[in-house]
Amino acid sequence: MAIIVNLDVMLAKRKMRSKELAEIIDITTANLSILKSGKAKAVRFSTLEAICKALDCQPADILEYIED
Amino acid sequence: MKTKKILKFMHILSWFVFIGLCIKTGGILISYFMSITTPEAAENLYAGLDLSEYYKHSFKQYTFIVSYKVALFATEAYIAFLVTQLLKALNLEKPFNLKVQKLMQSISYSIFNLWILAMIHNTHVQFIGIRYHYSMDLFSSDFIFLAGVIFIFAQIIKRGIEIQSENNLTI
């Protein structure tokens, strides 16, 4: 997948655990794990908004495009 | 709830159909082997199936006709078995799964094979029937339409699985 999700980097910067973030944005840890591992096919804007709000960052801080 | 009951009933019914077809196929096969030494057995192979005309004319032709019948009923039994597996695998909460799609595809291919066997059987029986003035007991050959319809349903289910999978991986 050409879109990379750099959630681990932001979680480390904000010193937050995955489980904590999952609770704040109201998704399961399994779904968050799918997102982090790059297996997700799509992300809803509402989820992206919730993540950016919880981590106080921009979408560009979490999503990166690398050509295959 | 009503749908679940209907599907449960159909599941039990499909098992009866499968067992019945297995008994029919086995019965014809056993009667055929008996008819090798006892020609009278050809007069009633199973439930009144009378192929004595072919037996008296030519044992080779008789064997061909019996082979077609066994192959046709065995294929029907296999289709009935696939239907039992389909009804077992069907989950109304998550109906779009790979197993259901593969079973539907297998059923459509088997019905197509049944149609081909029926066409070969009917062509051979008609050929002998016209040539030697025998009675013609033809197999219904309308299966191609059913095979096509089920194949279309299988493709729809396949697309449904793709959409469901994408939906599941949308966070």
| Chain segment B20-78, per-residue pLDDT in tens | 999 999 999 999 999 999 888 888 888 888 888 888 888 998 999 999 999 999 999 99
| B166/chain A closest Cα distance in angstroms | 6
Q: What is the ipTM of this complex?
A: 0.83
CB contact under 8 A, B170 and A35: no
Question: To probe the interface with B, which of A25, A31, A41 has the most B CB atoms within 10 Å?
Answer: A41
User: Could you write out the three-class secondary structure of B103-161?
Assistant: HHHHHHHHHHHHHHHHHHHHHHHHHHHHHHCCCCCCCCCCHHHHHHHHHHHHHHHHHHH
C-alpha B136: how far from its chain's center?
21
Tell me the shortest Cα–Cα distance from B165 to chain A, in angstroms: 9
- Which residues of B, range 136-165, sit inside 8 Å of A by Cβ? 165
Chain A residues within 8 A of B169 when measuring between CB atoms: 34, 39-42
Sort residue A65 into left (φ over 0), alpha (ψ -120 to 50) or beta.
beta
Tens digit of pLDDT for each residue in A22-45? 999 999 999 999 999 988 989 999
Instruction: Tell me which of 1.10.260.40, 1.10.357.10, 3.10.620.30, 3.20.20.140 is the CATH number of domain A2-66.
Output: 1.10.260.40
Residue A2's nearest CA partner among A68, A48, A63 is A68
A chain contacts of residue B165, beta-carbon cutoff 8 Å: 41
Q: Determine contact, residues A42/B169, Cβ cutoff 8 Å.
A: yes
Look at B170 and A39 and tell me if their CB atoms are within 8 Å.
Answer: no
Task: Show me where the domains of chain B are located.
Answer: 2-170
